Amino acid sequence: MKKILNIIVKTGLPLLLGAVILYWIYGNFDFDLIIEALSTMDMWWFWVSCIFGVLSHAIRGWRWRLTLAPLGYKPANDNCVYSIFIAYAANLVVPRVGEVSRCVVLERYDKVPFAQSLGTLVSERLVDTVMVALITFTAVVSQWQVFRTFVIEAGGVSEAGVFSSVGRVAILILSVVAIALVLYFILRKMSLWTRIKSFIAHFWEGFMSLSKMRHFWLFIIETVGIWFCYFMQFYLCFFCFDFSSDLSVAAALLLFVAGSVAVVVPTPNGAGPWHFAVISIMMLYGVSETNAGVFALIVHSLQTLLVALLGIVGILMLQFKR
């Protein structure tokens, strides 16, 4: 019974939550508008954004190899990149399982011990957290009035549909409950002492890997490159549609931050919460609810498809190497 419940929480709950929120947002949506938008969409900009999307994964793989070098391991560059492809695709099925899958790949193909490769992820997360904090601070300061309105109104400016007060509160409550449940089922498997020892061991191992790195400057450059590519992949999609092409870089930065925070909610690739956050803020910039819905649905769907395709490429390339 416990195993069944665990499976439901890990796979069923994220899918159900994402589906519920998406239905809430798009339940009365005219999907003929999606077909119309796709027919007039400037695909050149989208393909350019895809280049940045692939590049962000590749740079993350190269950066990971740098953190493994001080531990005495030098996995193949392409294996590191393929492991990132697979990790992001795995997160589409079970949120947050990607970190485990990428370590499994290196253990299988480059004999890198699972525990040590997992420890290096701590150093990555520390630096990424700093980057997210800096980007968030910049976005909030430059777009304070819009951000303040978004927080006060919980992301809605319309009095109808999903952005009514009841809809906003329901989505926020569902998201918070989902995060709490996932954390609960993860932590309840471990005793307090086990959690403390595990955290200290991984933190120290990851920190020492970072401090012993010979090319720390390259690590920082690659970190900036990763987040620059993430932003460009999102920002260039604005030019795919007439109604969003005039939005400023500052507006795009705030939307990027909101979307990045929304994916914390355990749904496949942030489906549902990501749409909610992006639509809400786009409306504050004068984009109609309908056009914002079109943008969110098309961009998220195509980017999710790209992640899935890269995962398939990663699996096939690794099998080919074997």
Summarize pLDDT for 295-321 with one digit per residue, the tens.
Answer: 999 999 999 999 999 999 999 999 887
More confident residue, 27 or 279: 279
- At 41, list the tokens: 């969409």
- DSSP letter assigned to residue 160: S
- At 146, list the tokens: 């819009």
Domain boundaries, given as residue ranges, for the chain: 2-321
Residue 194 has pLDDT above 80, yes or no: no
Contact present, 76 and 252 (Cβ < 8 Å): no
> Which is nearest to 314 in space by CA: 111, 63, 91?
91
SS3 per residue for 186-246: HHCCCCHHHHHHHHHHHHHHHHHHHHCCCCHHHHHHHHHHHHHHHHHHHHHHHHHCCCCCC
pLDDT (0 to 100) of residue 159:
42
pLDDT (0 to 100) of residue 251:
93
Residue 199 has pLDDT above 60, yes or no: no
Residue 8 has pLDDT above 90, yes or no: no
Mean pLDDT in residue range 114-135: 83
pLDDT (0 to 100) of residue 53:
96
More confident residue, 13 or 288: 288
40-89 pLDDT, tens digit per residue, is: 999 999 999 999 999 999 999 999 998 888 878 888 899 999 999 999 99
Residue 160 has pLDDT above 50, yes or no: no
Residue 158 has pLDDT above 50, yes or no: no
Residue 200 has pLDDT above 50, yes or no: yes
Q: How far apart are CA 102 and CA 87, in angstroms?
A: 5
What count of other Cβ atoms lies within 10 Å of the Cβ of residue 239? 17
> Which is nearest to 244 in space by CA: 49, 51, 57?
49
- Report the Cα 240 to chain-centroid distance in Å: 21
Q: How far apart are CA 162 and CA 29, in angstroms?
A: 11
Q: What is the pTM of this model?
A: 0.82
Residue 291 has pLDDT above 80, yes or no: yes
